[in-house]
Amino acid sequence: MDLLTMIAKMSEGLGRTCAIFFLTLLFSLPLGMIVALLRMSKSKVVSGVVRFIISVLRGTPLMLQLLAVTYGPYYLFGISISRNKLIPVVIAFAINYAAYFAEIYRGGIESIPVGQYEAAQVLGFTKAQTFLRIVLPQVVKRILPSVTNEIITLVKDTSIAFTVSYQEMFTIGKQIANSQTSFLPFVVAGVFYFAFNAIVDFVMGKAEKAMDYYK
Amino acid sequence: MNVLRIQNAEKHFGDLQVLRDISLTVDHGEVVSIIGPSGSGKSTLLRCATFLETLDGGEIDYMGEAAVRTEDGKVVYAKDLNAFRRQFGLVFQNFNLFPHYTVLKNLMDAPVTVLKRPKAEVRGECMELLRKMGLEDKADAYPCQLSGGQQQRVSIVRALAMKPQILFFDEPTSALDPELTGEVLKVIKQLAEEKMTMVIVTHEMAFARAVSDRVIFMDGGVIVEQGKPEDVFGDTQQERTRQFLRNYQQ
Ligand SMILES: Nc1ncnc2c1ncn2[C@@H]1O[C@H](COP(=O)(O)OP(=O)(O)OP(=O)(O)O)[C@@H](O)[C@H]1O
Ligand SMILES: [Mg+2]
């Protein structure tokens, strides 16, 4: 197989790689906020349970979590393994990334000086208005660099979908590497990931610039 | 009518009693300064009056309406506290402007969002207030682009834009370099001349003496002495006040 055929075949999986990437972000970014707010709940039980769940999600490999989500329902309840592996992949990724985003959000929210809340309260803003108008915009600016780091990791983590044979770019590359006994597909995959992350870097850099208008 | 009436206010932090049976009324147009050593409870009193801290006992009325009551030893806050928050403004030591908003948005956001007043009208009023403070060219600047003195003047305008009945200041110049305190004190003096009702916690004794109708000396969570500035500073009655003022002059 020549290099161009190889690239063409692996490109067919890029759509699925992008699907994992964008769907994971779509679900995990908001889910992370819900988790963060629960984690900061006044109820010790709620915050304790959420804290434990977060530590499990961050303390065990994503690969294991993916296997559990994909095959767990079959072994536990005899539910047949879904044909479309995208669903378990996105579920596992979204939950895992939500745990990381939640901790980033929490750090950001807790870094906002208490004086901002007090000023808003004295002016008569409701709790929701204070959070949405005063706190959240400042949090977004503060956490953007950490979120960028997670997004870059996510690009590379999409390759973990090969463990459940979801036909994304890396899985195809690995299959070609096996059948052709060639290392070249891995080089191609590396170039793909690097280019993908160059785009992520560019976009997030623009976003950070856009928020540079205040300190 | 009293703008503010506090009766028998009590506040504890754990075992520490910070306010002991504080009673205080402020009349319309009156300027009251509160002085006293560090830890005497001055900030706590302002924070209780502005609902940033909850009282353990006592009563607070604004414009004759009960905001806080004590019934059978239980402190009860009025249901609609925001209605009372409209009556007062608070200027913080470290400004607490919203850094992601321009100066004008800092001023307009609460009147428009909280009071639901028409934007154009609010904008006109806020620009007028900025002009009065000599800050009209800063309307589109962000707080981080202003000096400390300018930020504090903006935060005073932010409070004024809500058209409060009474303004509280908690050491409005303590976070400023000495050369910047003058411009802020000038603004407060101007407000005093316009008969704005104000309660000012300050360590600026000369200023308190010049601007106040009444000076209150607090120590250990109680009002030790109060009266006209010339009396409190010139004809001090209490030994504790005398001691405090003596330390201050050194
Ligand atoms: N949130 C809090 N928790 C526990 N103790 C507090 C709290 N806030 C204030 N205190 C304590 O209450 C006492 C009164 O504090 P307060 O800030 O009212 O004093 P102050 O007169 O404003 O002093 P300063 O001139 O230093 O500002 C102090 O002993 C302080 O340590
Ligand atoms: Mg204080």
Residue A135 is assigned to a structural domain of this protein: no
Residue A190 is assigned to a structural domain of this protein: yes
ipTM tops 0.90:
yes
Residue A10 is assigned to a structural domain of this protein: yes
**Mutational test site, ligand 1, from B40, B53, B92, B94, max ligand atoms within 8 Å of CB:** B40
- DSSP, residue by residue, B133-180: TT-GGGTTS-GGGS-HHHHHHHHHHHHHTT--SEEEEESTTTTS-HHH
CA distance A83 to A172: 17
Q: What is the distance in A from the centroid of ligand 1 to the CA of B200?
A: 16
With contact defined as beta carbons under 8 Å apart, do A134 and B105 qualify?
Answer: no
Residue A128 is assigned to a structural domain of this protein: no
Best of A121, A123, A132 to disrupt the B interface (most B CBs within 10 Å) is A123
The closest of B61, B65, B89 to B162, measured between CA atoms, is B89
Ligand found nearest the CA of B217: 1
What would the pLDDT profile of A148-185 be if each residue is shown by its tens digit? 999 999 999 999 999 999 999 999 999 999 999 999 99
Pairing of strands B74-77, B57-62: unpaired
The predicted model gives B32-41 an average pLDDT of 96
User: Chain A contacts of B100, Cβ < 8 Å?
Assistant: 137-138, 141, 214
Domain assignment of residue A36, given as a range: 3-112+142-214
- The answer to whether residue A69 scores a pLDDT higher than 70 is yes
Q: How many domains does chain A have?
A: 1
**Which residue shows structure tokens 């607090």?**
B218
- The answer to whether residue B228 scores a pLDDT higher than 70 is yes
What would the pLDDT profile of A88-120 be if each residue is shown by its tens digit? 999 999 999 999 999 999 999 999 999 999 999
Residue A117 is assigned to a structural domain of this protein: no
pLDDT for B107 equals 98
Which pair of tokens denotes residue A76?
Answer: 């536990």
Residue A134 is assigned to a structural domain of this protein: no
Residue A21 is assigned to a structural domain of this protein: yes
Domain with residue A155: its CATH number is 1.10.3720.10
Contacts of B102 (CB under 8 A, 6+ apart): B139, B140, B141, B142
* Torsional sign, CA B42, B198, B116, B103: negative
Percent above pLDDT 90 for chain A: 91
Would the CB atoms of B110 and A141 count as touching at under 8 Å?
Answer: no
CA distance B229 to A20: 72
What would the pLDDT profile of A2-52 be if each residue is shown by its tens digit? 899 999 999 999 999 999 999 999 999 999 999 999 999 999 999 999 999
Contacts of B176 (CB under 8 A, 6+ apart): B148, B149, B152, B184
Mean pLDDT score of chain A: 95
Residue A97 is assigned to a structural domain of this protein: yes
Strand order in the sheet with B197-201: B88-91, B166-170, B197-201, B31-35, B214-219, B222-227
